[in-house]
Structure 1
Amino acid sequence: MTLQRPASLTDEFLQGLVARVPSSSGASWKLTEVYTGELLVELPQSTPADIERAFAAARSAQRVWAAWPLRKRLAVFKRAHALFLDRAHTTTDLIQAESGKNRRMAIEETCDPVMVMSHYLKRAPHLLKPVRRGGPIPVLSTSTEIRQPKGVIGIIAPWNFPFATGISDSIPALMAGNAIVLKPDNKTALSPLYGIQLLEQAGLPKGLFQVVCGEGPDVGPTLIDNANYVMFTGSTATGRVIGERAGRNLIDCCLELGGKNPMIVLEDAKLDEVVQGAIFGAFGNTGQICMHIERMYLPEPRYAEFRDAFVAATRRLVLGAAYDFGPDIGSLVSPDHMERVRSHVDDAVAKGATVLTGGRPRPDLGPAFFEPTILEGVTQDMLAGVTETFGPVVALHRYRTVDEAVALANDTDYGLNASVWGGDLAAACQVGRRIQSGNVNVNDILATAYAAKGTPSGGVKQSGVGARHGDQGLLKYTDVQNLAVLKKQVLGARPGQDYDEYVKGMLGGLRMMRKTGIR
């Protein structure tokens, strides 16, 4: 198809971005414009030796960066905050070209690193400040909690939100004094590379933020073996492999993994609000959001009403390839992923499910377009019933009681996100508390939870370990040093003192401290 590429995406600009990726072998990967399948740029592929050199360079830069006063490090991000906003449309062009998402989702993705910067610029001085505490002997001893950077953080970013994860996950780690080695997905390496360029324009020392590229099995092991901590966003299967290897290396990791996220609509929910939420929940980012909705539970008395309104609204959605705000839904990330989504729908239909709308690829629009699809009659013997589809496909289910709805929502190995809709907020919150999920949104799909940068966001069950955001989102990138000081040698019996007398005094002292509240 013919599509006018944005003027910002010149060959010179794209070549400049990928030039920072090391590749001693000369191997490359064809990074294409998803809308058309046309080549954007040859992306260099890194060897294990390239990765080891990247870590060595990052460690050298990290020692200097960690020695900077915190206020000097944070000043970089104050400048970056403005720069990221000024260049948001260029970033959006890159995100659209490499991922195929519609412009609304792409521009919203550019806002995430800015929000993360804003939050931690306020919070980091408190979190990283040494905290002096009492020691075992009042007055004569102290213990100070000191936050030390871990060293070099390995970040493995997914293709669905490459800029938000690749850059946002790096910001608190850098503020804490670490260096970064990032492995973006080959399909979506351009926007994080641009983000790093902007950070360096804001004053981030060159060499501190390294990028290596390649397929996961080729790059991942060397990255994990050289990192002091790993942050990964992706599938549960890959997360297990990463967690096992990190464990063997005795390093910690944070894993945000898959989901099969439910939405429960209570009987007193407002129809129009539910439909609007369901449209975004099922089809936002073409269904390629870790926290998007794949299972919707509707109350039996209002099932037909909600179903018919949702189907009608879905049929009005506009699909298309455009670098403007026209289309409601963009492309899937690749033809391969489109085939995966189609296989889930075909499997469901073959086993008795009904397609209420959609269900087909749209090659007339581009090589990876798939219609927004609503299924009815999905069961757990179908791929779409238990496996994360990660596309614009949602299954509708009836329920008779709230207890049944909660049981159905929890009947999954996953627990990343859930959504509850109701007119009575207190009752809806009560339902939300019963759902086994790291994030639960009431009268929203996901943005209220994910955009609350002050609160940790992570998964439970098979949806992950650890969290991003909140105090935990920065402190996880640090080690704690306990600096203890004894001002006078009083720990132990004095020379010549009878040990029975020493023990009597020690036990008495402990009783006194407990009674007085000192310890």
Structure 2
Amino acid sequence: MNSPTPTLDQTQDDLLERITPTGGERREILDPATGQLVGHAPVHGLDDLEAAVARAAAAQPAWAALGHERRSAVLLEAADAIDASAEALARILSREQGKPLNGPNARFEVGGASGWLRAAAATPLEAEVILDDGDVHAELHYRPIGVVGAIGPWNWPQMITVWQIGPALRMGNTVVVKPSEYTPLSVLALVEVLNTVLPAGVLEIVSGGREVGAALAAHPSIGKVMFTGSTSTGKAIIRSSADTVKRLTLELGGNDAGIVLPDVDPSAIAEGLFWGAFINTGQTCAALKRLYVHDDVYDAVVEALADVARAMPMGVGLDEQNVLGPLQNRQQFEIVDRLVEAAKRAGANVLVGGDPDRDGPGNFYPTTLVEVADHDLGLVQEEQFGPALPIVRYHDVDEAVALANSVDVGLGASVWSSDLVEARRVAARLEAGTVWINAHGAIHPMVPFGGAKQSGYGLEFGVEGLKALGVPQVING
């Protein structure tokens, strides 16, 4: 007699059971949409970190010795393992992080994790002949760093973890992952799936607090730290890493500006503007967080954007119809609420939203559009990291560019126009690591991504991302 096919809940529960600690300290992880228990995460300490680093260091020489071709083959098998567990991973992610299953959310993120891992495995990296003039033959090669520390965020926990570990493993490093305390289950589950394929010790995980992250950044056996998160934490990692002169890739906070030029078709760009700002309910480093709209099209653009915003359903992530979810944690809810309330007191006009149920279940903050006349308001100057978009009217492009460049971060930016030549001229004037035209936040595994100013340094993705996970070595002769 055949065994019954496991249900989605059974496969999800099986994966949660495999990552649930059987001893030691652990803590409850609650669903930010409902407050219900999702599972229990281990609380690892410094001794656990030491053991994980030791295992990764011991496994690294053999992993490096496999060579690029064999390592890539293993990573492709690991991507297959993600695909085989995709629905269970997505449901755990939805329950823990809050993002819905559908839209550019949980299922999208799991698919992105698999896809980026495949891209890291498939990206060629050949030795580069620097000089060959008959007297000197010089080649540039990249060798493994050793053990890489990967410290991830809570907004895209699975996909960003793969952004960190995929190129690191491909280049012959081993990795110790430290997930956010807010979303450890999503990353523990991902690592559990990957480790059904990877050799022992190649990928380790420690699920601890800030002291574990600080110790990882300072650890003498860690050769590089990759970090995605706030600028303030990035600065702390820089300080912690200084004594051991670690290599760093830091993707830090942003406050991305979008500039709408006067020649646009408002209805054609409205949905792109919406998802640029509100993907993952605004909880994205490279989301559109300040929108500057020319006076000639201001009213039409705002009306079209408001129509889109009102139509997008928000609710519990496991409900298939929703495309927006709660803020992942109460602290972030309070930040968004504080910034919007301060803007309202200062006379800003709330067009949509701005009236959360502060006593209801879940960290739901409604999609909010705010007309802002005072550019110095916190809602404009600070990264809100949530579903509240300030909209600023401008009269000439020079003014808009100056306002867009006026903050101390520069992760991304965008220009919206029917004239690509003019859009590119404006884009070249913006102080950001990536400037999109008629889109915002669109990324590709072969296109380098990184920040300017206090949004961090180092590049991820593609050939440049692989190079960043190796030590350059010139062989001369």
Please state which band the TM-score falls in when normalised by the shorter chain: over 0.9
Determine whether 1:221 maps to 2:238.
no
Measure how far apart 1:181 and its partner are.
Answer: 0.5
Any idea what SS the aligned residue of 1:403 has?
Answer: helix
1:151 aligns with 2:178: no
Query: What TM-score do you get using the length of structure 1 for normalisation?
Result: 0.85
Letter in 1 for 2:449: S
Q: TM-score, normalised by structure 2?
A: 0.92
> Following the alignment from structure 1 to structure 2, what is the Cα–Cα distance between the partners of residues 272 and 230?
43
1:68 corresponds to which residue? 66
Matched, 1:269 2:231: no
Q: State the shift of 1:9 in Å.
A: 6.2
In the other structure, the counterpart of 1:464 is 456
Select which of 88, 91, 114 maps to 1:90.
88
Indicate which of 468, 471, 476 corresponds to 1:479.
Answer: 471
Stretches of structure 1 lacking an aligned partner (at least 5 in a row)? 486-519
Q: 1:13 aligns with which of 6, 12, 15?
A: 15
| In structure 2, C-alpha distance between the alignment counterparts of 1:477 and 1:438, rounded to whole Å | 19
CA contact (8 A) 2:39 2:185 kept: no
Counterpart residue type for residue 465 of structure 2? G
Asked whether 1:122 is paired with 2:122, we answer yes
Q: Is the 8 A contact 1:28 1:44 kept in 2?
A: yes
SS in 2 for 1:480: strand
Which residue of the other structure, out of 309, 317, 331, is the alignment partner of 2:312?
A: 317
Report the Cα distance in structure 2 between the residues aligned to 1:153 and 1:122, rounded to whole angstroms.
21
Does the 8 Å CA contact 1:354/1:377 hold for their aligned counterparts?
yes
- Superposed CA deviations along residues 121-141 of structure 1, whole A, max 9, x for unmatched, are 3324xx1x44566589x46x6
For residue 209 of structure 1, what is the aligned residue in structure 2? Answer: 203
Shift of 1:199: 2.1
3-state SS of the aligned residue for 1:314?
A: helix
1:55 Cα deviation (Å)? 0.3
Take 2:68 and 2:233, find their aligned partners in 1: how far apart are those partners?
A: 35
Q: Supply the distance in 1 between the matched residues of 2:189 and 2:466 (Cα, whole angstroms).
A: 23
Query: In 2, are the aligned partners of 1:266 and 1:421 still within 8 Å (CA)?
Result: yes
Tell me, yes or no, if structure 1 residue 54 matches structure 2 residue 52. Answer: yes
Alignment-mate amino acid for residue 460 of structure 1: A
Higher mean displacement: 363-372 or 337-346: 363-372
Residue segments in structure 2 that go unaligned for 5+ positions in a row: 1-6
Alignment of 1:380-391 (within 5 A): 380-391=375-386
Verify the 8 A CA contact 2:99 2:317 in the aligned structure 1: no
RMSD between aligned residues: 2.1
**Contact kept? 2:12, 2:88, Cα under 8 Å:** no
**What is the DSSP-based 3-state SS (H/G/I as helix, E as strand, rest coil) of the residue aligned with 1:468?**
coil
Displacement of 1:179: 0.5
Partners of 2:436 and 2:129 in 1: CA distance? 38
The 5 A counterparts of 1:401-420 are: 401-420=396-415
How far is 1:380 from its partner?
4.0
Identify if the C-alpha distance between structure 1 residues 152 and 353 changes in structure 2 by more than 3 Å, giving closer, same or farther. Answer: same
What is the deviation of 1:15? 3.0
Aligned residue in 1 for 2:374: 379
Output aligned runs, 1:419-458, within 5 Å.
419-447=414-442, 450-451=443-444, 453-458=445-450
Amino acid of the structure 2 residue aligned with 1:50: D
| Distance across 2 between alignment mates of 1:230 and 1:242 | 8
Per-residue displacement from partner, 1:56-78 (whole Å, max 9, x unpaired)?
A: 01101112111113221111122
Q: Contact 2:410/2:433 (CA < 8 Å) preserved in 1?
A: yes
Larger Rg: 1
Determine whether 1:243 maps to 2:238.
yes
Amino acid in the other structure paired with 1:223: L
Deviates more, 1:27-36 or 1:234-243: 27-36
Deviates more, 1:267-276 or 1:317-326: 317-326
**Residue 342 of structure 2 is aligned to residue 350 of structure 1:** no
SS at structure 2 position matched to 1:440: strand
SS at match of 1:187: coil
Contact 1:265-1:274 within 8 A present in 2 as well: no
Structure 1 residues 176 and 402, CA gap change in structure 2 (3 angstroms): same
Aligned to 1:514: none
